[in-house]
Amino acid sequence: MTQGLQRGLQELMSEDLPQDYGENPTIVRETDKYVEEYVHGFVEKWDDLIDWDERTKTEGSFFIEELRRRGVKRVLDVATGTGFHSIQLIEAGFDVVSVDGSPNMLAKAFENGRKRGHVLRTRHADWRWLNRDVMGRFDAVICLGNSFTHLFSERDRRKALAEFYSALVHDGVLVLDQRNYDAILDNGFDSKHKFYYCGDQVSAEPEHTDEGLCRFCYKFPDGSAYHLNMFPLRKKYTRELLGDVGFQRIDTFGDFKESYKEEDPDFFVHVAEKRYDSLELGENSPEDLTK
Ligand SMILES: C[S@@+](CC[C@H](N)C(=O)[O-])C[C@H]1O[C@@H](n2cnc3c(N)ncnc32)[C@H](O)[C@@H]1O
C-alpha cells in the first residue's frame, strides 16, 4: 500500500467526508478509489441497503452448504464489508478470518460482530497484497457481495485472483460472486432488480453503463444518495480469468441455482476449485471455461 493511500485511510476514518468523484464522475475508473467510496456515512447506511434478514432469506444456506459439502473449516472472507457472511459463517461453526481494504468497513464489521457476541478476527489488507498481510492457508476464500467488480484493471484482477489462489490450501475453493453485468450491458437494467436483497426502502440502480464502467446510485429513505463506480464483469470473462490463474473446475450458479437462462439472474456465483487431478478430464476443460 502506498503512503498516500495510507494517509488517505487515516483521514477517512477520522472524518465524515462526502463521496467525491470530481466534476466528471464517469471518468473515475481506478481500483484504489474503493477506499474513498466507502465513506463513513455510506458504511453506516450499508446495512439498510443490505437488509440482513432479507438477505438471509434470499441466500438461504447456499454458501454454508457449498462449504460444508467440501469439508471446509477455515474461511478467509476477503470482502468482509459490514460482516454479514463472516458472522453467518462463524455462527455456522466455521473458523473465519475477516479481511477488507476499507478500515471503515472493518470497524463496522467488528461492531456488528460484538453486537452478536463475537470477536471478529479482522485484518486490514488489500487483495493485491493479501499474502503479504495475511498469514496462513485457508480451505476457502470467499469474495461476495459483488466486490470483485471494484478492480478496474486486468492486471489488478489477475493479481488479486493469484493472491486468492495462493491463500488456499491445495484443494481449497474460491467462492466469488458478481452482478449479472451481461444482462445490464446487453439488455439494460431491469427495474425488478432494483431492490434485490436490499431493504425495500433502499434502491440501487445504474446511472451510467458502458463496457468499462457501471456507476450505481444507492438512494436511502432519508433522501441521501451514494454512488459506487464498478467495472462491469462479463460472466465469460470472469470464468476465463479464474481458469487462467489455475482454478481447475468452475461452477457458476445463477441466483443460487444450477440452471438458469443467462439473462434472468441478478447475480452469478462462481465456485472455483483449486484441486488438481491429472486424470480428470472433461467438464471444465479449457473450452468449457469460455461458456
Ligand atoms: C460491495 S462491498 C461488499 C461487502 C460484503 N461482502 C457484502 O456483501 O455486504 C465490497 C467490499 O470489498 C472491499 N474491497 C473492494 N476492493 C478491495 C480490495 N482491492 N482489497 C480489499 N478489499 C476490497 C470494499 O472495501 C468493500 O467492503
Residue 162 lies in a domain: yes
Higher-confidence residue of 26 and 154: namely: 154
259: domain CATH number is: 3.40.50.150
Residue 91 lies in a domain: yes
- This model's pTM is above 0.95: no
Q: H helices of the chain, where?
A: 3-14, 33-37, 40-49, 52-59, 62-69, 84-91, 103-115, 130-133, 154-166, 181-187, 235-244
pLDDT at 13 over 70: no
Strands 203-210, 213-219: pairing is antiparallel
pLDDT at 285 over 80: no
Of 183-192, 259-268, 271-280, give the range with the top mean pLDDT: 259-268
Residue 30 lies in a domain: yes
Q: H helices of 129-215, where?
A: 130-133, 154-166, 181-187
Cα–Cα distance, 91 to 88 (Å, whole number): 5
pLDDT at 195 over 50: no
The catalytic residue among 81, 83, 101, 145 is 145
- CA 50 to ligand 1: nearest atom: 9
- CA 143 to ligand 1: nearest atom: 6
Residue 291 lies in a domain: no
Question: Residue 143: phi, psi to the nearest 5?
Answer: -135, 90
- Per residue in 134-148, pLDDT (tens digit) is 999 999 999 999 999
Instruction: Indicate the angle between helix axes 103-115 and 84-91, nearest 10 degrees.
Output: 40
Q: How confident is the model at residue 284 (pLDDT cuts 50, 70, 90)?
A: low
Q: Pick from 33, 126, 147, 156 the residue to mutate for probing ligand 1's pocket: most ligand atoms within 8 Å of its CB.
A: 147
**Residue identifier of the C-alpha nearest atom 1 of ligand 1:** 147
User: 216 lies in which domain range?
Assistant: 3-18+26-286
Mean confidence (pLDDT) of the chain? 88
HEC states along 248-269? CEEEEEECCECCCCCCCCCEEE
Per-residue confidence (pLDDT) for residue 102, from 0 to 100: 93
pLDDT at 106 over 60: yes
- From ligand 1's centre to the CA of 283, what distance in Å? 31
Assigned C-alpha cell, 263: 439473462
- From ligand 1's centre to the CA of 79, what distance in Å? 4
Q: What domain count does the chain have?
A: 1
Cα–Cα distance, 23 to 26 (Å, whole number): 9
Residue 70 near residue 93, CB atoms below 8 Å = no
Q: How far is CA 167 from CA 1, 47, 78, in A?
A: 19, 28, 10
Is 197 annotated in the active site?
A: yes
Strands 249-254, 267-273: pairing is antiparallel
Residue 265 lies in a domain: yes
- CA 77 to ligand 1: nearest atom: 6
Residue 267 lies in a domain: yes
